[in-house]
Structure 1
Amino acid sequence: MKPLAMPTTRRRRWRTAGAVLLGVLVAGGIGEWLGWPFLAAPLQNALSSALDRRITIDSAASPQTPDAPGFQVRFLGGLRLTTPRLEIAAPTWSTTPHMLVAQGVALELRYVDLWRAYRGQPVRIESLQARTLDGNLERQADGRASWQFGSKPASDTPTERTRLPLFGQLLVNDGVVRYKDAPLGADLQATISLAQLAPGDAVGSHTQVPTSVLKVQADGRYRNQPLKIMLATTAVLPSTETDDTQALPVALALDATVGRAQLVFKGSAKDVLQSDTFAGRFSIKGPSLAAVGDPVGVTLPTTAAFRSEGSLVKQGNTWQVVVDDATVGASRLKGAFTYDAGRSTPLLSGRLGGNRLLLADLGPVVGTTPAATADTAEPLQVKARGKGRVLPDRPFDLPAMRAMDANVLIDIGEVDLNTKLLQPLKPLSLHLQLVGGVLTLRDLVARTAQGQLRGDLTLDGRAATALWNADLRWDGVRLEQWLQQTRAKGLPPYVAGKLQGRAVLTGQGRSTAEILASLKGQFRTELRDGAVSHLGVELAGIDLAESLGMLIKGDDALPVQCAVADLAVAGGVFRPRAMVVDTADSAVWVDGSLSLATEEMDLRAVVVPKDFSPLTLRTPLRVRGTFSDPQTSLEKGPLGAKVAAAVLLGLVNPFAALIPFIDIGDNKEAERDAVGCQGLKQRVAAVAATRPPAVKK
């Protein structure tokens, strides 16, 4: 009988083990069914240990929550918790009473998410439903955040992004959340409410069909700008996975006032809280483009008042914007841009186009003020006259130039130069590049009055004082069209012809006025196939008899045989090395100086009759004073023969040295002008040969 004892013992053991296992399963099933009501305290302690944060779970309804269900927890497939009240304590460094207090809570957590949170990764909540919620979210300047759990220290680099908690589902009937973020300069208080949607209502399109909408109203400050937000989104948030390409977007509507800018957005988002991926239509307006860039950390120029509408797509750190219509003052623009904020230095790239651009609307960009409205025009004019200076002196925002890079192609149909005296540029194209604080305008091409302007400009803002370089060429610009000359019907323009030339200039300063005051380089221009007003020449020469005759019989145009201006620039002062307009009647010579540093001028125009006799040299005309208040007068004192010859030769000698450098070109028009200037040189030489001898004492 002894051999049978062993199998019997084994069977008993297996039966016992099976009974125990069955008992455990039955007990576990009963526990899962009942919700393990006695595990409130142990679970509270376990979560507190896992998250390194005090967690409080109420096991029964309190007098404040009489309608809330009692505590229940289930473990199969993840942690599912319902409790009348759940509190998550604030971190030890925080002064707030708690991080989160929720009543009527239904919470779902996956075990893998708990493990990741313990390892210091952003906490992810599969589902959170609450009747009421009160939260305090904080992030300090050193990067520590109240939503970071576990013992892993925060990053030592506060600029590294710290993500908010992730949600698969969020349903809150009523709540208040306070949010403080030192790196972003944010201090907000938001109220949250859940409302049922009426049949046919919708927040957006191309999204899942919602039955309720989550509304958020927030007030406070963001990036140190006043902020007010009204946001509506479908209450069910999409699941956020490592690969969220399969996540179904939720509808999103936003009406926000940030600083001085107002934004309306309607579209969809894959994660409303993270704001990582969304797309939709927007409209925005404000007193300046800079008002839009400040809240989002994008460097945009200071301009006149603007409004814009278009489409917006954001994926991670990349923003894509298509501007269908943008009005800046009276300018009409459009464009398509990409902004990459994930680079060490953010990059803005794209194209800017439009029908019309007024420089007055972009005045603050170059240091001026935008065109004044009717209410402000008179005070501004009075202020300008009181200062007595006309050059823009508004400082450049050089730190903003170093905060972002840019690569933008610009093509504008018409550029208004903010003056009634000059014809607009039609069209204008250029390549704008901003790299490391150096702004470059390359491949500049502008057309006006049948001619064109080409060149490159650079503004180096890497230091405290900006360095400016310009190399500009113009050719074929018809002055009778470019200059708005108002004359009676039938009378010729005061000046006509094709203008060509080149300017190579450098300067430095912290504003446009300072740069102009430090300019150095050269400026040379020539007039081809030109003509000037006969009356204007006679008036310049103060020949009253000839001028009276012109007034009686009518003005006519004198062909220009030679017109050259060669100016040396140093310290912001332009001085003519040679400046002359030679006609069949007379030659007008100009010398003196024009200072952009002091905004003053001292110019002298000497009109010489065709025979070039020093005895017929007329009294010079002087133009003096400031840019805002120029004064014209005749030079005092008689002009004797010896003095006249000295004046003339002083004007002529630089011109004679300039003649060999006049571009003859490859056309008859240029050749004719060069011959005219050679003839003028020969007549000047004749004057020098017949100069009266010096008077012996």
Structure 2
Amino acid sequence: MQATSTRSQRLALRIGIALLALLLLLVLVVVFFPWDRLREPVNRYVSEKTGRKFEITRRLDVDLGWRSATVKLDGIEFANPSWARDPYLVRAERAEVDIRLWPLIKREVVIPRLMLVSPMVGLQMEQDGKRTWALGKDTSDEGTVPTIGQIQIDGGSIDFLAKHLGVDLHADVNFDSSKGEMPLSYRIKGTYQRQPLTAQGRTGNVMQLKAEGQPPFPLEIDATAGQTKLKAAGTVAGLSGLDGIDASFDLRGQSLGDLYKLLGVALPETSPYALSGRVGKRAAIWEVKDMKGKLGLSDIAGEMQFDQGQKVPRLSGALKSQVMDMDDLGPLIGLPPTARSAKAVEGVTPPPSVDQVKRPTRNGAEKVLPTATLDFERLRAMNADVRYTADRIRNVRELPLDKGSVHVKLQDSVLTLDPLDLGVASGKLVGAIRIDATKTPADIRASIEVRAMQLNRLIPKVETLRTSFGRLDGRVNLSGRGDSVASWLGGASGDVSAITGRGQFSNLLLEFMGLDGAEIIKFLLGGDNNVTLRCAAVAFDVNKGVMSGRSLVFDTTDTVFHAEGSANLANETLDFVVRQEPKDMSILSLRTPLVIGGTFGSPSGGVKIQPLAARGLAALALGAINPLLALAATIETGPGEDADCQDVLKRARQPVSKAAIDGANKGKGAKQ
């Protein structure tokens, strides 16, 4: 029994020694195997499998391990497919490639590290999915694209072409070990999204495309694409998906709208801007924090988030301005910036200003309403939920805005500004605007209320006459279809009205409006006085762009004014007649109806010739008899009567025509 056990132990020992010897022999074979003898067979095999020439030009060596192998290539040339512009995918003095062994069983190529010395790399992508770096004969096959972790480059150049994306870039790369943590410098020139691009910067000697568990590598960039300039410095964990970004940035350009083509973020058109802050990216979510800067003449600050992981990308955030300048709002509604806004940001070439851009004209008259078309592609490109607040609004000229806020929501191609809240003339303008871009032309609805605006602030030129008004209330409820502000208003229907109650008004201005010579002379000699404003209303029924006056009354203790007529929003023309009815007796009066016509861009005003001519002829005839009798023709007996203010305001509050009522009700649908 003991002998049997001893024999078993000896057998096991012999087997163990044999296996160890075999293992040692395999190690010696691996270590001393003349790998270079496989160079030609490898060249033929790779060329056959890929359908393009592959050649190790000088020497092949392999360091073989249990899990991976390091392939050392002294001289390498790997041709591109015949359809590519550059003849070589890669051509380098030397290369080292770490390859995972076990994934090869599943025909997957995993390269944790790729080192190239003085390479020339030609990368190209086609619209049909073909890529030069796909290793199979079918270069559109996803399964033939290797997974690369890290890339080390010691000098050389890289070309990348994607015509369907408007990308054609050439990069020169240099390595200098004396430059510390970022020894690799690069210069890029070409076109990106069909805009000229130049860039330069530095990075660490190892660039991580897909490297899990590795520390992020440093990166600096100074780039210009078209009129957009970017400076950034920080770290990046992975280049292939730009994952793990943590960097400071300085971004400036002519309009934030330009970022749509560059970055895919659908932002509105703006005045020139300069923004700085910190940007980070984790997985599919970009975050901008501590952002501050300028939009034209306005300051801007806040935080933003852009989620690319959803089916439709989503932008969210909160922005705030301490001071917002009205000159910066033009581009938001399709107008060029003013000269002040265009030149407000240093380091940015000023775009053409509103004074330099030739506005559309119609029949020789300048067009006022913005004609810039809505960008439906951008409205459908993403969703958004952004809040904006301005603590103070300046440079408001004739419109005394105090502060404002708006909640912008874009969901499934429907844009809403709700609530829209502006402080105007110590009162408020509140409401909502809705643009449904799922329809072409877009379905646009607006519902705006005017609350308690102080007229002496709303009309500062009258305020200089030391007048004191009451408050103004009103509303705008419009709906229609269009692809611009002009085309929408040109076909919109609904209700527009503004009313005011009791207040004060300049008598001097009133007498000028009534062409009362005696009253003007009296006030010039004795000073201006105020008269009481009993009530006023300006209200229109709007039907397919035609604003027909339904209640146009201005009633004071001195004179009552009645107007009739219309404004055509499509043609931008005016056609109004204003009739004055004085309530007092006066001489030297040439009161006659006022005619307001022309266009929005070039309005005209005058008096009706017939009544004025009749008084003039009468004065001439009486003057021929006795010069003093000529004054009789200018005597005004004062036939005007007080308006029924309750009836005036009632008619102003409610549209009359069915088209206006239907349009107004639909316009109210802008509110959620």
Q: TM-score, normalised by structure 2?
A: 0.81
CA distance, structure 2, for counterparts of residue 539 and residue 507 of structure 1: 40
- Find the partner of 2:286 among 305, 319, 333: 319
- TM-superposed deviation, 1:105: 2.1
CA distance in 2, matches of 1:137, 1:393: 43
How big is the shift at 1:656?
7.8
Match of 2:388 among 404, 407, 410: 410
* Aligned equivalent of 1:585: 558
Cα distance, 1:431 vs structure 2? 1.1
> Within 5 A, what are the aligned runs for 1:597-616?
597-610=570-583
Work out whether residues 43 and 55 of structure 2, in 8 Å CA contact, stay in contact via their aligned partners in 1: no
Equivalent residue, structure 1, for 2:509? 536
Over the aligned positions, Cα root-mean-square deviation in angstroms equals: 3.8
Q: Deviations over 1:306-362 (max 9, x none)?
A: 111111111232211135223122121122111112222221111121123334324
2:31 aligns to what?
33
SS of the residue corresponding to residue 439 of structure 2 reads coil
Deviation at residue 155 of structure 1 after TM alignment: 6.5
Residues 60 and 607 from structure 1, CA distance in 2 versus in 1: closer, same or farther, beyond 3 angstroms?
A: closer
Judge conservation of contact 2:51–2:137 (CA < 8 Å) in 1: no
Cα shift at 1:500: 0.7
**One-letter identity of the residue aligned with 2:193:** R
Q: State the match for 1:105 in structure 2.
A: 95
Structure 2: give runs of 5+ residues left out of the alignment.
Answer: 344-349, 616-638, 654-672
| Inter-partner Cα distance in structure 1 for 2:601 and 2:221 | 49
Instruction: Please show how residues 205-224 of structure 1 align to structure 2 within 5 Å.
Output: 210=181, 213-224=183-194
Determine the C-alpha separation between the residues in 1 that align with 2:512 and 2:462: 18
Q: Secondary structure at the match of 2:129?
A: coil
Match of 1:343 among 306, 310, 316: 310
- Alpha-carbon shift at residue 97 of structure 1 (Å): 2.9
CA contact (8 A) 1:492 1:556 kept: no
Q: Quote the Cα distance in structure 1 between the aligned partners of 2:270 and 2:75.
A: 52
Equivalent in the alignment of 1:637: 610
Distance 1:626 1:558, change over 3 A: same
| Correspondence for 2:132 among 146, 150, 153 | 146
Preserved contact between residue 210 and residue 239 of structure 2 (Cα < 8 Å): no
CA-to-partner distance for each residue in 1:172-216, whole Å, 9 max, x for gaps? 211222212355332222222221144xx5xxxxxxxx3x52222
Residue 196 of structure 1 is matched in structure 2 by 177
Which residue is 1:422 aligned to? 399
Mean CA deviation greater in 496-505 or 621-630 = 621-630
- Worse overlay, 468-477 or 351-360: 351-360
Give CA deviations for 1:446-479 in whole Å, capped at 9, x if unaligned: 1122211111111222233222211111111101
Structure 2 equivalent of residue 66 of structure 1: none
- Letter of the structure 2 residue corresponding to residue 193 of structure 1: N
Specify the SS of the correspondent of 2:131: coil
2:444 aligned with 1:458, yes or no?
no
Name the CA distance, whole Å, in 1 between partners of 2:466 and 2:36.
104
Which AA in structure 2 matches 1:29? V
Deviations 1:577-597 (A, max 9, x none): 112122222212121222222
Distance change (3 Å), C-alpha of 1:382 and 1:104 = closer
Deviations 1:139-178, CA, capped at 9 Å, x for gaps: 221223233345888479xxxx99884223x322112222
Q: Confirm or deny that 1:167 pairs with 2:149.
A: yes
Is 1:85 matched with 2:85? no
Matching residue within 309, 313, 321 for 2:276: 309
Alignment partners' CA distance in 2, 1:317 and 1:24 = 51
Which amino acid counterpart does residue 469 of structure 1 have in structure 2?
A: R
Cα distance, 1:45 vs structure 2: 6.5
Equivalent residue number for residue 259 of structure 1 = 226
1:358 aligned onto 2:356? no
Amino acid in the other structure paired with 1:591: E
- 1:219 partner letter: K
Matched, 1:230 2:203: no
Q: 2:119 aligns with which of 129, 133, 157?
A: 133
Q: Which amino acid in structure 2 is aligned with residue 189 of structure 1?
A: H
In structure 2, the partner of 1:58 is 56
Q: 1:484 aligns with which of 446, 451, 460?
A: 460
1:104 deviates by: 2.2
- Cα gap change, 1:483 to 1:570, in 2 (>3 Å): same
CA displacement at 1:218 relative to structure 2: 1.8
**Cα drift, residue 253 of structure 1:** 0.6
After TM superposition, the structure 1 stretch with the greater mean CA deviation from structure 2, 50-59 or 516-525, is 50-59
Once the two structures are TM-superposed, the CA of residue 516 in structure 1 deviates from its matched residue by: 2.0
Matches within 5 A, 1:113-128: 113-115=103-105, 118-119=107-108, 123-128=109-114
Amino acid at match of 1:132: S
Rounded to whole Å, the distance in 1 between the matches of 2:520 and 2:137 is 95
Where 1:597 maps in the other structure, the secondary structure is coil
Per-residue CA shift, 1:468-492, capped at 9, x if unaligned?
211111111101112221666xx42
Task: Report the equivalent of 1:595.
Answer: 568
89-98 or 181-190: which moved more?
Answer: 89-98
1:97-145 per-position Cα deviation (integer Å, ceiling 9, x unaligned)? 33222322222112245456x24xxx54222223221222222212232
Q: Distance in 2 between matches of 1:612 and 1:578?
A: 27
Distance in 1, matches of 2:317 and 2:49, equals 46
Kindly provide the amino acid, as one letter, of the partner of residue 144 in structure 1: K
User: What's the offset of the Cα at 1:442?
Assistant: 0.5
- Across the two proteins, how many residue pairs are aligned to each other? 614
Q: What is the CA deviation profile of residues 250-278 of structure 1, one whole-angstrom value per residue up to 9, with x for unaligned ones?
A: 11111111222111110100013442221
Return the letter of the residue paired with 2:442.
Answer: A
Tell me how far apart the structure 1 counterparts of residues 144 and 519 of structure 2 sit (CA, whole Å): 83
Distance in structure 2 (CA, Å) of the matches to 1:45 and 1:394: 60
Tell me the TM-score normalised to structure 1 length.
0.79
Q: Distance in 2 between matches of 1:230 and 1:381?
A: 34
3-state SS in 2 of match to 1:426: strand
Matches of 1:388 and 1:553 in 2, distance apart?
43
Q: Give, as a single letter, the amino acid of the residue that structure 2 aligns with 1:138.
A: Q
1:601 maps to amino acid: L
**Deviation, structure 1 residue 94:** 4.5
The one-character-per-residue Cα deviations of 1:633-688 (angstroms, maximum 9, x if unpaired) are 221223999xxxxxx99x989x886555678xxxxxxxxxxxxxxxxxxxxxxxxx
Match of 1:598, SS? Answer: coil
Output the amino acid matched with 1:439. Answer: L
State the secondary structure of the residue aligned to 1:536: helix
What is the identity, as a one-letter code, of the residue corresponding to 1:505? L
Residues 239 and 247 of structure 1 are in contact (CA less than 8 Å); yes or no, is this contact kept in structure 2? no
Please give the alpha-carbon distance, in whole angstroms, between the structure 1 residues aligned to 2:32 and 2:207.
Answer: 29
Q: Given the alignment of the two structures, is residue 560 of structure 1 paired with residue 533 of structure 2, yes or no? A: yes
* Aligned match of 1:644: none
- Aligned-pair CA distance for 1:618: 4.0
Q: Structure 2 vs 1, CA of residues 473 and 306 (structure 1 numbering), >3 Å: closer, same or farther?
A: same
Partner Cα separation in structure 2 for residue 531 and residue 484 of structure 1: 14
Compared CA separation, residues 38 and 421, structure 1 to 2 (3 A) = closer
Change (3 A) 1:597 1:113: same
| Distance of 2:209 and 2:516 partners within structure 1 | 90
Q: How does 1:619-630 map to 2 (within 5 A)?
A: 619-630=592-603
Provide the rounded CA distance (Å) in 1 between the counterparts of 2:141 and 2:493. Answer: 51
* 2: CA distance, partners of 1:45 / 1:113: 22
Distance 1:377 1:411 in 2: 26
In structure 1, distance between residues paired with 2:272 and 2:126: 35
Q: For 1:24, which of 19, 22, 28 is the aligned residue?
A: 22
